[in-house]
């Protein structure tokens, strides 16, 4: 199968990265996770998906449901699963008895051969602005946690919920990151619960949206992890050469400002579409290859963000497959690393192109990366993050180039919806 050709490249990549940058054993190098969305009618059977997942070196998968076919197929593979309960489950699951019943048949039944380690409750609930949905979120999480404890599984399975980046009211500079004021109260209660339970805070972050909204003002190389001057956070002096890291650190700052500095943060979705509608600037195979390929390289280097340099990045690319039944603009159906027939949506490894965009060399070995590799990505199933960064119109005046002006321009970025 086509993906077999990709395997040598990824092994080489891991070896190079491991020996060049990572003092710890190669096997522990942070691996990429992938969102396995299935809003499609033409996807391969889960058994045929196993080699694809391995071909890109992914060791973690995230489902938007608890598809028994997938959970059965991946038994014994060692792949770690995050499974999901959709927003329409919250009312039911807040009932402790229903939570227990659901856990028994959707989690306990597969353990330990299928390694389920995390349950996401709802998706981007808070940014729906639906008060009854929001009101059900924490009780549903609590019921599941209680049921896990009852089954003795609470030390191996955690409960969390993914948020859109639009939970932020301020995202630039990263040190000023702050949550929407109207969400501070419900979020604080959820964060207290998560701090006690020890579960990670999840955020879906798409620099693509920022670029698409302002292609003339947002530097493409800054969002694609390619070489660029970057920006400096004026209050910390920290240098950012890619937008994803700036977004992640904005979330770290927002968490800290609510008193949850130590909560683990994972990126539950990020990615780049290889195709879009005519007005979706930037949705090309070339940009998707750069975004996901560079992201994988950065992950392999195992460095954190400027604000948390030693924090392991834990990222789930969206998505494994192009999903032909997703509604919305064409980009929504084209986030996949793979086409439904199992062939790569684009070649992930660059032909020796510069991928050192975050200030670190992509490879010190001097050998150009082979070109047959496959992609790595991220996707969203029922909804996608609506939050993105956009530059306010007031800064149109400062669009000349050069580092200083770029800093000034980006300092005026603010979060829109
Ligand atoms: C939700 O509310 C916020 C704050 O009032 C607003 O900015 C945002 O556009 C709303 N989102 C939706 C999806 O209605
Ligand atoms: C956060 O973590 C640091 C280092 O592990 C620890 O010293 C500190 O007490 C923690 N803070 C809180 C609020 O838990
Ligand atoms: C990548 O390498 C292949 C094989 O060497 C070559 O045919 C192709 O033109 C190259 N593509 C680019 C963009 O350099």
Q: Is-contact 368 351, C-beta < 8 A?
A: yes
What pLDDT does residue 349 have?
59
Residues lining ligand 3, CB < 6 A? Answer: 351, 371
Q: pLDDT band at residue 399, thresholds of 50, 70 and 90?
A: very low
DSSP states along 131-146: HHHHHHHHHHHHHHHH
What pLDDT does residue 30 have?
56
> Does the annotation mark 169 as catalytic?
no
Q: pLDDT band at residue 302, thresholds of 50, 70 and 90?
A: confident
The label of the residue with tokens 């050998």 reads 367
Q: 386 φ, ψ to 5°?
A: -100, -10
Q: Would 153 be classed as within a structural domain?
A: no
What pLDDT does residue 389 have?
34
What pLDDT does residue 384 have?
38
Q: pLDDT band at residue 355, thresholds of 50, 70 and 90?
A: very low
Q: Decide if pLDDT at 3 tops 80.
A: no
40-44, 53-57, 75-79, 329-333 — which is least confidently predicted? 53-57
Q: Decide if pLDDT at 388 tops 70.
A: no
Cα(169)–Cα(219) distance, integer angstroms: 22
Q: Decide if pLDDT at 36 tops 60.
A: yes
Ligand 3 centroid distance, CA of 346 (Å): 13
Q: Which residue is closest in CA terms to ligand 3's atom 10? A: 351
What pLDDT does residue 312 have?
80
**Residue from 124, 126, 127, 129 whose mutation best tests the ligand 1 pocket (most atoms within 8 A of CB):** 129
Cα(42)–Cα(39) distance, integer angstroms: 9
Q: pLDDT band at residue 264, thresholds of 50, 70 and 90?
A: very high
Ligand 3 centroid distance, CA of 372 (Å): 10
Cα(127)–Cα(134) distance, integer angstroms: 9
Residues lining ligand 1, CB < 6 A? Answer: 129, 180, 417
**Cis upstream peptide for 36 (omega within 30°):** no
Q: Would 332 be classed as within a structural domain?
A: yes
Q: Would 190 be classed as within a structural domain?
A: yes
Q: Would 269 be classed as within a structural domain?
A: yes
Q: Which residue is closest in CA terms to ligand 3's atom 12? A: 351
User: Which ligand has its closest atom nearest to the C-alpha of 263?
Assistant: 2
pTM over 0.85: no
User: Which ligand has its closest atom nearest to the C-alpha of 383?
Assistant: 1
Q: Decide if pLDDT at 39 tops 90.
A: yes
What pLDDT does residue 317 have?
98
Ligand 3 centroid distance, CA of 221 (Å): 21
Ligand 2 centroid distance, CA of 187 (Å): 20
Averaged pLDDT score across all residues of the chain: 82
Ligand 1 centroid distance, CA of 96 (Å): 31
What pLDDT does residue 85 have?
98
Q: Would 124 be classed as within a structural domain?
A: no
Of 124, 169, 280, 323, which one is the catalytic site residue? 124
User: Which ligand has its closest atom nearest to the C-alpha of 308?
Assistant: 2
| Strand-pair category, 33-36 with 60-63 | parallel
Q: Would 68 be classed as within a structural domain?
A: no
Q: Decide if pLDDT at 17 tops 70.
A: no
pLDDT tens-digit profile of 199-239? 999 999 999 999 999 999 999 999 999 999 999 999 999 99
Q: Decide if pLDDT at 368 tops 50.
A: no
User: Which ligand has its closest atom nearest to the C-alpha of 180?
Assistant: 1
Q: What share of the chain is helix, strand, coil (3-state, %, to 5)?
A: 40, 15, 45
Q: Decide if pLDDT at 325 tops 90.
A: yes
Ligand 2 centroid distance, CA of 360 (Å): 29
- Supply the range of the domain harboring residue 202: 2-63+161-416
Q: Which residue is closest in CA terms to ligand 3's atom 6? A: 351
Q: Decide if pLDDT at 27 tops 70.
A: no
Q: Would 106 be classed as within a structural domain?
A: no
Q: Would 80 be classed as within a structural domain?
A: no
Three-state SS for 115?
A: strand
Task: Name, in order, each residue with C-beta under 8 angstroms of 98's C-beta and a sequence gap of 6 or more.
Answer: 92, 143
What pLDDT does residue 178 have?
98
* Percent of the chain topping pLDDT 70: 76
Domain of 323: which CATH number?
A: 3.20.20.80
Ligand 2 centroid distance, CA of 209 (Å): 34
Count of structural domains within the chain = 1
Q: Decide if pLDDT at 20 tops 60.
A: no
Atom of ligand 3 nearest to the CA of 351: 1
pLDDT tens-digit profile of 5-15? 333 333 333 33
Summarize the confidence of residues 295-317 as an average pLDDT. Answer: 92
Q: Which residue is closest in CA terms to ligand 1's atom 6? A: 417
Q: Which residue is closest in CA terms to ligand 1's atom 1? A: 129
Q: Which residue is closest in CA terms to ligand 3's atom 1? A: 351
Of 80, 169, 226, 269, which one is the catalytic site residue? 269
Higher pLDDT, 417 or 136: 136
Atom of ligand 3 nearest to the CA of 352: 14
28-37, 138-147, 169-178, 221-230 — which is least confidently predicted? 28-37
pLDDT tens-digit profile of 140-162? 999 999 999 999 999 999 999 99
Q: Which residue is closest in CA terms to ligand 3's atom 2? A: 351
> Does the annotation mark 189 as catalytic?
no
């Amino acid at each position: 199968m086509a993906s077999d050709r990709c395997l040598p490249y990824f092994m080489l990549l891991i070896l190079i990265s491991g020996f060049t940058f990572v003092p710890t054993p190669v096997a522990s190098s942070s691996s990429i996770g992938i969102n396995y969305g299935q809003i499609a009618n033409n996807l391969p059977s889960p058994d045929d998906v196993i080699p694809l997942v391995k071909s890109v070196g992914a060791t973690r998968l995230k489902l938007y449901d608890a598809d028994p076919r997938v959970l059965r197929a991946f038994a014994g593979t060692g792949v770690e699963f995050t499974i999901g309960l959709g927003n329409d489950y919250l009312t039911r699951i807040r009932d402790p008895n229903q939570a227990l019943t659901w856990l028994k048949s959707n989690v306990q039944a597969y353990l330990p051969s299928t390694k389920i380690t995390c349950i996401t409750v709802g998706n981007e609930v808070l940014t729906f602005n639906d008060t009854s949905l929001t009101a059900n979120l924490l009780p549903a999480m609590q019921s599941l946690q209680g049921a896990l404890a009852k089954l003795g599984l609470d030390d191996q399975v955690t409960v969390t919920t993914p948020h859109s980046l639009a939970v932020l009211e301020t995202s630039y500079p990263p040190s000023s990151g702050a949550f929407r004021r109207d969400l501070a109260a419900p979020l604080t209660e959820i964060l207290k619960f998560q701090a006690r339970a020890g579960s990670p805070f999840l955020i879906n972050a798409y620099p693509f949206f920022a670029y698409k909204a302002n292609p003339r003002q947002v530097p493409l190389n800054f969002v694609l992890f390619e070489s660029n001057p970057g920006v400096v956070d004026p209050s910390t002096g920290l240098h950012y050469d890619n937008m994803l890291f700036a977004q992640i650190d904005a979330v770290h700052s927002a968490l800290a400002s609510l008193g949850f500095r130590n909560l683990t943060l994972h990126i539950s979705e990020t990615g780049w579409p290889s195709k879009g509608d005519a007005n979706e600037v930037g949705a090309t195979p070339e940009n998707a290859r750069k975004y996901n390929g560079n992201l994988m390289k950065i992950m392999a280097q195992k460095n954190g963000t400027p604000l948390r340099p030693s924090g392991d990045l834990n990222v789930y690319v969206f998505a494994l497959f192009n999903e032909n039944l997703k509604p919305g603009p064409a980009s929504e159906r084209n986030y996949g690393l793979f086409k439904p027939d199992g062939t790569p949506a684009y070649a992930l490894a660059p032909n020796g192109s510069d991928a050192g965009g975050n200030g670190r060399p992509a490879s010190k070995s001097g050998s150009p990366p082979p070109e047959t590799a496959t992609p790595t990505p991220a996707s969203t199933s029922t909804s996608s993050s609506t939050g993105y960064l956009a530059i306010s119109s007031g800064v149109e005046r400062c669009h000349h180039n050069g580092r200083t002006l770029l800093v000034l321009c980006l300092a005026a970025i603010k979060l829109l919806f």
